[in-house]
A and B are shown apart, each in its own frame.
Chain A
Amino acid sequence: MPTPRRTKTDHLIHADVVDSKSKAGVWMGERASFQDKQRQILEGLKDALNWVPLEGAIMAISTNPAGITVIAPNPTLPGLIVLADGGSPAASAHLQTNGEDLVRQVMSGLGIAEEAAA
């Protein structure tokens, strides 16, 4: 099925890039504000979900293809979690494979064996 672009409204709308120059200071002021809101939202989510903290996660950023890959230690099992979000479905799959391959390469370089699930 063709995939519609997701609707996203959590840009820095208040930063309003359409009128840019005069609002540089406003954006700067808003950063602390939106980060505080992010913390509040996460606290709210914690009440609605079963969750564990994801310590030590990183978000890799790629331009070719465009996308992000969140790589985090699995908090309850051996191994790392790799979650890719690319600019298109194929790019997501590409990034996911790249991320997993890279994890394996690094493991190999460190001499850490991949553990098979029981």
Chain B
Amino acid sequence: MAATRLLWGKYFQYDRDGEAVLLDPVTLNSCYLDRGEVTDLSAVPPTATHDALSELGFTPDGPATDRREALRRQLRDLALDPTPNRVSGLRIVLTDRCNMACTYCFVDTNTGKPDMTEDELAEGLRYLFEENADRDEVSIQWFGGEPTIRFDLMRYGDELADRLAAQHKVKRVRRTVVTNGARLTDEALNHLVRHEYGVGISIDGPPDINSANRLLLGGRPADDRIRRNVRRLVEAEELHVGCNLTPTAANIGRLAETVAWIIDTLGLKFIYVNTPIPTGGRWRVNGQDLAHELYEARLVALSKGGLLFSVLDRAFQALDTRRPMLFDHMQGDGTLNAAYLPGKRVSLCDINFTEPNFLFTLDELRYHPEVLGTVTKRVAPVPACGDCPALAICGGPSRNEQLLIGGDTPDPEMCAFYTETVDIALWDNTGVQ
């Protein structure tokens, strides 16, 4: 790991083996210095290195600025608005019933609450298409519980979505389903193929890892069944099948091996590693270790012809494009994917279905679109954010994280994670990231 210090009171300098990288945490400009330049930098200015750095925008002078305020100004200059402008996609929670009982699930499953009705589903879809009339695309994601338990509603909703898309001149409907893969009927498979679904299968790794947290309701593992169903999905044409991998105590330390197994054994070449959610008030994984594991795992995936994405990519994208990447739950176009729940309620945070602050009726969203501001991120909410190199990449906890951890102060493991991602990304400027 590189040692970090502050240069001229405003740039982070990462030293490693005599070389260094300089980072401006607000503009996200960074540059590399070789050994000679590092030495030159410590000499009495002006040296050739000082002059060259000045040309790149790294200067010792200028007013001392509040970096948090400077970031907010930067966001305004780049027209990056933290408030969503509309809902462009719905994660539709058809039921909380699930055939599995995963220990870390953020959804309260099998509570006995009623499933979504056809009428409720139709109203939610009508809202989505009305809001996005004449747009290029809306996205629909079936979610649960285990959404395939209500395959009848998925089929009904897909048929209705096709009609609404035509009626409201929406050019494309992106359809995805998040499933545990433990049940897949021929009828459902044919339907997924017909609508060119993206299928995200939640699986944590080989049986000894997966069964640590993901068991059927009766307590038995479902790995053989899941593997058979994954094979059927992978072999089907027109389907895009990937894996949603959750970092757990069982696979941390074995993430690269886990990813290799997913690619080699399951044949899934698209892997998304879920971001830890501080359910229970805190991160349950070591942030620094997780950052390194994600990096290693990504390269293992690449070496096997696979693609692995995670929140680590934020650091690479931000540094490479010089644009802050700190709005956790918004799409790149400023729109929001919200969760649509039974009872015609919408949660503006698609990974929290119970927090009253996020819950609205469809009419509230229709007639008071300003409520979208409820999820607007408070950028860098604590003074310590101003001293963090990940200022413009993390930006502090999201509204959801603040509610889960009970305050503005981020979980220390979250901070460790993001600062480590910056370190990793600064030293990897290669074309494959």
Contact = CB atoms under 8 A, between A and B. Distances in A.
Nearest to A70: B431
Interface in B259-311: 270, 272, 274-275, 295-296, 299, 302-303, 307, 309-311
Nearest to A86: B430
B56 A25 contact: no
Among A13, A19, A21, A89, the one with the most B-chain Cβ atoms within 10 Å of its Cβ is A21
Contact of A25 (B34, B141, B302, B311): B141
Interface stretch (B117-125, B157-165, B195-203, B399-407): B195-203
Contacts of B141: 22, 25
5 contacts: A2-B58, A7-B320, A11-B317, A25-B174, A88-B427
Contact of A14 (B34, B328, B332): B332
A20 interface: yes
B274 A21 contact: yes
Contact of A24 (B244, B296, B320): B244
Contact of B175 (A8, A25, A31, A68): A25
A89 B18 CA distance: 12
Nearest to A85: B430
A39 interface: no
Given A11-B320, A17-B309, A24 B32 contact: no
B176 A5 contact: no
A28 B270 contact: yes
Interface string B37-61: 1000000000001001100101000
A117 interface: no
A21 B331 CA distance: 11
Given A8-B431, A63-B296, A24 B178 contact: yes
A20 B56 CA distance: 33
A11 B37 CA distance: 31
B153 to A, nearest CB: 18
Contacts of A61: 299, 302-303, 432
Contacts of B326: 18
Interface residues of B, number: 75
3 smallest CB-CB distances across A and B, nearest first, come from: A25-B198, A25-B176, A28-B240
A9 B320 CA distance: 7
Contacts of A6: 320, 429
B3 interface: no
A59 B197 CA distance: 32
B217 interface: no
Interface string B1-28: 0000000000000000101011000000
Given A27-B242, A28-B198, A20 B309 contact: yes
A7 B176 contact: no
Classify the interface of chain A: helix, strand, loop or mixed.
mixed
B322 interface: yes
Contacts of A25: 141, 174-177, 197-200, 240, 242
Among B33, B272, B432, the one with the most A-chain Cβ atoms within 10 Å of its Cβ is B272
B337 interface: yes
B258 interface: no
Contacts of A26: 139, 174, 176, 198
A4 to B, nearest CB: 4
Contact of B309 (A9, A27, A59): A27
Given A5-B319, A18-B332, A24-B176, A88 B311 contact: no
B17 A90 contact: yes
B313 interface: yes
B29 interface: yes
B322 A7 contact: yes
Interface string A44-63: 00000000000000010101
Interface string A23-47: 1111111011000000000000000
Contacts of A21: 178, 244, 272, 274-275, 350-351
B325 A27 contact: no
Given A16-B331, A29-B174, A7 B295 contact: no
B52 A2 contact: yes
A18 B330 contact: yes
A73 interface: no
B353 interface: no
A27 B270 contact: yes
A19 B32 contact: no
B257 to A, nearest CB: 14
Contacts of B56: 2, 4
Nearest to B28: A5
A5 B199 contact: no
B241 interface: yes
Interface in B125-158: 139, 141
A13 B272 CA distance: 15
